[in-house]
Structure 1
Amino acid sequence: MKKHLLLLVALIIATSASAQFYVSASGGYSISSAGILTGTSLNDSQTKATNHYGSYGEGMTGQLRIGKFFNEMFGAELGLAYLHGADQNISSYLTNDDGDIKEYTDGNAHARAYGLTASLIYNFNENFYGKIGMVTKLGGKTEAEFTRYTETPLSAFGVDPIKTQGINDYHGRLPLGFTAAIGYKHSLGGNWGIFAELEYLGINVTRDYSEFAELSITTPATPALPAGAIGPNAVPAIPAMTWNLGDAPLNHPIFGTIAAPSKVTYEDSLPQPNNDPSKSLSSVAPYSSFGINVGITYTFSKK
């Protein structure tokens, strides 16, 4: 399909150079289509779990396009698009063997992405038209902001969980998807016109790597513990400690080494158990959406 996209791009460029063509600019909003599970949140008392579904393709959009009609009915178009994605809930939790919650992550993520579309256009009549083509992502990221609480064996003594906060930027592999639209255009006289269209984008992005923009891990203050409480030796009171991204590893007397890699790469296959924190199995982020675009067109005069 990538070869087909390149051929379509070459065709549009070659034909646009020799005859009448148009440019357009539009803005709009997209909603998720066939949203998949993005996260599961808990209420404040952690007695109720709620699933959240969505797509990172939801949000405000903007597009710049150039196009050329080969005749009165058929044409082709190239578009450069920007997505300012809406927040998606990515909360999650883990339980121990007894069903008690041992870790809870409260988070949201949104996309900031640039895309390229190449489409063929068919005019049903003077006003209504349809489009079908391919879309790929040129750049951007999915930015996730989260707070994670991890229980420890000291929870039995009333000690707070370990708190991890951060902002993680996810980058994906080059994707290829499908786009289709149906629209209505109206001439304003002269070379100007306006249009409105309904558009579908079907595209998913496979994770490639992620980098932390911010990260901190805070261990709680612990009281003095007698011998036998968590080991053979007594443990003195220990104040809260915080490790920040870029610091040397923090050696905690109870919790051990506190640190995290600044970058994680995602692979399709890893040995198990995976003891390398800088590598993880890849997953797919949904970007499919339904959207409405409204814009203005300028058609250049024939030579």
Structure 2
Amino acid sequence: MKKHLLLLVALIIATSASAQEFYVSASGGFSIGSAGILTGTSLNADQSKATNHYGSYGEGINGQIKAGYFFNEMFGAELGFAYLHGSDQNISYYKTNKSDAGAESISEYTDGTGHGRAYGLTAALIYNFNQHVYGKIGAITKVGGKTEAEFNRETYTPLSAYGIDPILSEGKADYHGRIPLGFTATFGYKYRLSDNLNLFAEVEYLGINVTRDNSEYTELTITTPAIPAGVVGATAVPSMVWNLGDAPLAHPVFGTIAAPSEISYVDSLDPLNSDPSKSLSSTVPYSSIGINIGITYTFGKK
């Protein structure tokens, strides 16, 4: 029994001697989109050419704070908190309309941009290849944030054939997603500045997608054009404006004008759904490849 106790004590002492103990780190960096999808389709000035735009909302500037513990000189684990300040992505799109004669025309065009603002948590295992080179593998999830969109929309009507301007809509909307789960992998290099302080640089891959859950307009204005007498009936119709929060606008030509302040996104829906507050959900990418630079402070020595 005494031999076993002595062996256990010796093992604990040997393990403690090689452990790096607890550490904290802070870093910042920039990431580019990875595995991007089609985010928007823009039109040129005369609407004669459409151009696709691809991207990921994971592109942008990020900051991270992490804490970890090394069980020995090679293996460790860490938890991290990160913030993403995403770059603008093109989310423009257009709709076409086919007339009874078979001719097609642009019926609606939206010029818009969107960007991500996200908070995330990471959990990873660490392996030191040597005193300088290390690798990490783990999981990531988003715990807060949103995708912000800003847009200007032109909706063409049959009156456009008479030279009447389209209906103009402009606004801002916030999109919120369901809690996702993704994958993270890191390869880095650290340089010892002192016994407790290290400078590091790393390449980090994040693979994560966010499924849309709901959205809300934070700003919205819809402006209808003025219609002179003689175009529709004998009475002229002045330009009218509807703002978010106003009672529905009863327009004599275009009917009731308003928009839901919130939209819920679901996975199944009647294809003839007429409820503007519900829509089919979609998934947007937040995957990225980035470079981070930071410092690590270790409370224990090797």
TM-score, structure 1 length as denominator? 0.90
Distance in 1, Cα, partners of 2:176 & 2:197: 39
**Counterpart residue number, 2:256:** 257
Q: What is the rounded CA distance, in whole Å, between the counterparts of 2:240 and 2:145 in structure 1? A: 35
Per the alignment, residue 7 of structure 1 pairs with: none
SS at match of 2:161: helix
Q: Which residue of 2 aligns with 1:203?
A: 208
Change in CA separation of 1:117 and 1:235 when aligned onto 2, cut-off 3 Å? farther
The alignment partner of 2:172 has SS state of strand
Partner of 2:11: none
Partner Cα separation in structure 2 for residue 19 and residue 188 of structure 1: 16
Query: Which residue of structure 2 lines up, in the alignment, with residue 137 of structure 1?
Result: 142
CA distance in 1, matches of 2:300, 2:162: 79
SS of aligned partner of 1:163: strand
Shift of 1:34: 1.8
How far residue 19 of structure 1 moved from its aligned partner, in angstroms, is 8.2
Aligned residues: 279
- Which of these two proteins has the greater Rg computed from alpha carbons? 2
Is 1:72 matched up with 2:73? yes
Alignment of 1:138-217 (within 5 A): 138-217=143-222
Q: For residue 223 of structure 2, what is the aligned residue in structure 1?
A: 218
The Cα offsets for residues 250-285 of structure 1, whole Å up to 9 and x where unpaired, read as 000000000000000000001120110000000001
Equivalent positions of 1:4-43 (< 5 A) are: 20-43=21-44
Tell me what 2:4 maps to. Answer: none
Q: Secondary structure at the match of 2:293?
A: strand
Q: Which runs of 5+ in 1 are unaligned?
A: 1-17
Pairing 1:50–2:55 present: no
Corresponding position of 2:272: 273
Alpha-carbon distance in 1 for matches of 2:252, 2:66: 60
| Superposition deviation, residue 301 in structure 1 | 2.5
Q: Distance in 2 between matches of 1:39 and 1:164?
A: 18
Determine helix, strand or coil for the equivalent of 2:193: strand
Q: Render the CA deviation track for 1:91-138: whole Å, top value 9, x for unaligned.
A: 000111122111000000000000000000000011000000000001
Counterpart amino acid of residue 110 in structure 2: T
Note the C-alpha offset of 1:225.
2.2
What letter is aligned with 1:32?
G
Aligned equivalents of 2:55, 2:82: Cα separation in 1 = 20
CA distance in 2 between counterparts of 1:58 and 1:235 reads 54
What residue identity is the alignment partner of 1:49?
A
Structure 1 residue runs of 4+, over 3 Å off? none
Match of 1:3 in 2: none
Structure 1, residues 189-237: CA drift from partner, whole Å, max 9, x if none?
Answer: 13111100000000000000001110011000111126xxx5xxx2411
In 2: Cα distance, 1:124 partner to 1:19 partner = 15
* Paired residue secondary structure (2:272): coil
In structure 2, the residue matched to 1:61 is 62
* 1:115-169 alpha-carbon deviations (Å, 9 max, x no partner): 0000000000110000000000010000000000000111111000000101000
1:83-122 aligned within 5 A: 83-97=84-98, 98-122=103-127
Q: Identity over aligned residues, as a percent?
A: 70
Q: Counterparts of 1:277 and 1:27 in 2: how far apart (Å)?
A: 41
Indicate the residue corresponding to 1:5 in structure 2: none
Q: Which moved more, 1:281-290 or 1:91-100?
A: 91-100
CA distance in 2, matches of 1:47, 1:153: 20
